[in-house]
A = this chain, B = another copy of it.
Amino acid sequence: MSVEGAGEPVDRSRSVGDVGERRLIVELTRSSRALDATHRTADVVIGSGDDAAVIDTAGPTVISTDTAVAGRHFRFDWSDPRTVGARAVIQSAADIAAMGGRVTGTVVSIACPADTTVGTVLDLNDGILDATHRLGGRVLGGDLVGADEVVLTVTTVGALDGATPIVVGGARPGDVLAVTGTAVGASAAGLALLLDAHDRGNDELLTEFADLVAAHRLPAPDLGQGPAAAHAGAHAMTDISDGLVEELITMAAASGVALAVSSDRIPVGSDMRSAARRLGVDLREWTVAGGEDHELLGAFAAGTVPPGWTTIGEVRDGTGVRVDGRAVQDLRGWQSFGS
């Protein structure tokens, strides 16, 4: 990477194509370094700006990657770039937490059209930096390339700090199932509200249920519960990204067990109940079928569920998943059962 022009600030209203990817990479690296100077962690030997970064955490490294595409996984007319960037980090970081890992760093790829403004890219990057720092990690590098649409890929690395990594396939008959958070399905509720407002051209409910909309734009799972669960000896864990039913089906199949949950034990806020009534939907469409909260689902030996987790069901001999006593094969199966 060349450093020509690194002295002058970049006009945020200019386009990426006009300024050039290389010049903008200099700016992104400068932002990262400036913020990193106030968030130093002992783990980082060499930060962003060289060919590669070097991070030194004792013990194994946990790693996962996640991609979000504009118009498919997020919409710039519904979320500002900072929020989009932060959300991409949380999505990727949740996979680290789901193994019991603590986030140590992220590397980020931003692909964007040439007419994207510099301000949009810098804001995306600020959101990525901020979310990574809030999780205790550092942005370790990235790439910026031209493309026809915005594609964000965040790879997150983490440390286990002596804990055994928790796989999805370790649930045992007799275990209890538990989830983190106080509002599982809030992201799905927020999405439903946004879609409803869009369809009806009426923003009223978005104001009334602003917290749910915010939960969709930027979920805020307590990812520290991942390491907590690992240290508590969780038998199995995953993050709820594709809907609770899908994650249960995956955990049941991978563990060779049957899982049963009661939807009324799933933690929800009173605003979710109100919003479901107002939209005339079954609350379970959000709690059971909804995803993207990135809360954690774990299987624990009875009596070992850590504080901050809510027990929602149990692990049994057999196969398959039961919700409120009814067998479900897949998300579609649950939805047809639910309606």
Contacts and interface: CB of A to CB of B under 8 A. Distances in A.
Contacts of A95: 51-52
Contacts of A50: 99, 167-169
A327 to B, nearest CB: 14
A34 interface: no
Contacts of A66: 109, 143
Contact of A145 (B55, B73, B142, B147): B73
User: How many of these chains are in the complex?
Assistant: 2
Interface stretch (A205-213, A245-253, A279-287): A245-253
Closest 8 CB pairs of A and B: A52-B64, A51-B98, A56-B60, A155-B155, A153-B153, A65-B107, A51-B95, A67-B109
A43 to B, nearest CB: 9
A3 B107 CA distance: 29
Contact of A105 (B46, B63, B147, B329): B63
A323 interface: no
A222 interface: no
Given A60-B56, A140-B63, A51 B238 contact: yes
Contact of A45 (B56, B68, B143, B165): B165
Interface string A148-175: 1101010111101000010111000000
A109 B68 CA distance: 10
A169 B253 CA distance: 51
A56 B58 CA distance: 10
A72 interface: yes
Nearest to A22: B242
A232 interface: no
A239 B51 contact: yes
Interface residues of A, number: 69
Given A51-B95, A51-B99, A45 B60 contact: yes
Interface string A67-79: 1110011000000
Interface in A3-51: 3-4, 45-46, 50-51
30 contacts: A3-B253, A45-B60, A51-B98, A51-B239, A52-B64, A52-B96, A52-B99, A53-B62, A54-B60, A54-B63, A54-B99, A54-B101, A54-B165, A61-B157, A63-B105, A65-B107, A65-B109, A65-B141, A65-B153, A66-B109, A66-B143, A67-B145, A67-B153, A69-B111, A69-B147, A72-B145, A72-B146, A143-B153, A148-B148, A155-B155
Contacts of A65: 107-109, 141-143, 153, 155
